[in-house]
Structure 1
């Protein structure tokens, strides 16, 4: 087929694709775009072609043969995903940046997992995929230049940005908070994303990561500091300066998360940080900071008395009760020293056994 005829097919399809099923046309459309370019590389065209979209033609000329063949391969990927989702899954962001211009369904969702794809698994779009892979697969602390470009391009193309997913960290906006993308988050908020989605996850994520600028931007945009107890999230990072920031913002040091106060949270997170021994220097520093800022080691016991319950029923929930229950006499000398120091610290600040 000549370059002129191929372009005419492309233009006709581009103007009339809505009369077809999107599920059938998606791959065919992108395939014709690429094949049109491959035809153009060997065909001549000139002033006799008057109804060509010159801008689209110039874009086609920028795709080299290798990219064209690669995109064709992605159209026929073994998972039957969209070429856009598949290119992101295999970390070919350069190809993804090209595909975005021609994909007909920017919000197409495919399985979140490529190893064992199933229609029963979570389905995510291209924006969720690139952010999920950066965070959980590659363990990145910030987005690369190509990832930033792709995220911005997807947003500009109108991809859904306020969808919540049932795994990982939630919405794309939460991911961007964790990557400290202040301007992108602000742009999404300006586009109508709920700043208090998922019970304030944006604000707590920014605080947990230590992004002070992001925290203040979210507060300026109307984030509800009372929606959650950010102390729990700040302690995830084991940073006393973040706890101080949370306290300055008005967080209740005794507010509970399910059955835990912020002091109990120190124990559970310290256990994750140091194998099976829920003690380390960071946890000690964190607990000492809470105690010096007014945390009551007998909070649960006093709550039981106020509710006319036996203090013994809730002692196991108190920091001292937890410390005594999991004290390990078989631990190493250093680990036992940490545990003993922690118990003594609680006793010094008035912890009691009912």
Structure 2
């Protein structure tokens, strides 16, 4: 009941409860009142001895809650009464990270004015700069950099600010800003490993070109897809041609599919398979007991099965999961089976 009263702003109810001796630090009352922006209730709780740095609730601390929700008056009140601007807790880790994720420039500035550590690590994004870069906030990214944010700091689910920025569509200005301030275009971090990989996977041609122009290693290994070319091959992007033109190794091995040809064959991208074969992709490459032909047969991509065979794919290669004919038979891919049998399976 007390928690609900704090959440709903029932100041009179809270006052009566406190006067009857209820523990002021119980049930995250201060966090709830702070997240809702009830300045007078926050003041009331503080007057009754509430610990402004108590840990608890969804956000971790009252200051984190107020910073996430953007309640400037509450933030100032908490700081005036000793709230630690660098306290850690909750999903977002720090008050600055929470405010940055919410793209709240005024809150970020207020926290900076009170000595917050702009490079503090914590929460899902790791740093405030990572959070701001993910949101695509040019002004906020600039503000953090101006106050000493490390553009190459590692942490959080994205690994780096540059990787975080790649998750937002049309975020070229922020990406350019980070690069202009020394962001390492080949830094490893997060699910995709290197910046070039997510940009290639999502088809952000201008971003890929920008990264390449600034020294991105087209053959860097790491992350979910192993290479940028394999990432592009999963989605049939014209970026694959751009990467090849910049020296991408069509036979590089890594990632969840093994090679770019494995990925293109699995996803059924005919034009991309043709492109890779024209540039010397090994048609019989076996990675983890799987060949491109096995992938195409498994996914019933008849045209690619034909194309691979025409380019020298061995139809009877025995892998960890059997032959192409066996997998086609297992999943009743009759049309694929006929093609394989016609070519000597």
Cα deviation, 1:211-230, whole Å, max 9, x if unaligned, reads 33333333333333343443
- 1:109 aligned to 120, 128, 141, which one? 120
Q: CA deviation at 1:232?
A: 1.2
Which residue number corresponds to residue 318 of structure 1? Answer: 291
2:213 aligns with 220
2:308 is equivalent to residue 346 of structure 1: yes
Deviation track 1:167-194 (CA, whole Å, cap 9, x = no partner) reads 5332002223454544444443343333
Q: Counterpart of 2:246? A: 249
Q: Quick one: structure 1 residues 322 and 225, their matched pair in 2 at CA, closer, same or farther if it must change by over 3 Å?
A: closer
Aligned to 1:191: 181
The reply to whether residue 87 of structure 1 matches residue 99 of structure 2 is yes
The answer as to whether partners of 1:71 and 1:83 remain within 8 angstroms in 2 is no
The Cα shift of 1:94 comes to 4.7
Match of 2:159 among 151, 170, 184: 170
Q: CA deviation at 1:82?
A: 4.2
Asked whether the equivalents of residues 82 and 108 of structure 1 are also in contact (C-alpha less than 8 Å), the reply is: no
2:74 pairs with 1:69: yes
Matches within 5 A, 1:226-305: 226-228=219-221, 229-239=227-237, 241-257=238-254, 260-267=258-265, 270=267, 283-300=269-286
- CA displacement, residues 62-109 of structure 1 (integer Å, 9 cap, x when unaligned): xxxx732355469599957643233345x3625434424414123353
What is the Cα deviation at residue 265 of structure 1? 2.0
Shift in alpha-carbon separation, 1:175–1:237, aligned structure 2, 3 A: farther
**Matched residues, number:** 230
Structure 2 CA distance for partners of 1:73 and 1:289, relative to 1, 3 Å: farther
- Tell me how far apart the structure 2 counterparts of residues 237 and 168 of structure 1 sit (CA, whole Å): 23
Partner of 2:107: helix, strand, or coil? helix
Partner secondary structure for residue 188 of structure 2: helix
Pick the structure with more helix per residue: 1
TM-score, normalization: structure 2? 0.54
- Deviations 1:264-311, CA, capped at 9 Å, x for gaps: 12356x3xxxxxxxx5xxx344334433554342234xxxxxxxxxxx
Equivalence for 1:306: none
Match of 2:131 in 1: 129
TM-score, with normalisation over the residues of structure 1?
A: 0.53
Task: Compare 70-79 and 314-323 and name the one that shifted more.
Answer: 70-79
The CA distance in 1 between the partners of 2:113 and 2:105, in whole Å, is 14
In structure 1, stretches of 5+ residues that fail to align are: 1-34, 36-65, 114-122, 135-142, 271-278, 301-313, 328-337
Between the aligned partners of 2:105 and 2:132, the Cα distance in structure 1 is 13
1:323–1:222 distance in 2 versus 1, CA, 3 Å: closer
1: CA distance, partners of 2:188 / 2:288: 32
Change (3 A) 1:78 1:202: closer
- Residues 209 and 72 (structure 1 numbering): CA distance in 2 closer, same or farther, change over 3 Å? farther
The 3 A distance-change label for structure 1 pair 88 and 192 is closer
Distance in 2, matches of 1:299 and 1:213, equals: 32
The Cα offsets for residues 190-209 of structure 1, whole Å up to 9 and x where unpaired, read as 43333322298133343334
Q: Is the 8 A contact 2:99 2:108 kept in 1?
A: no
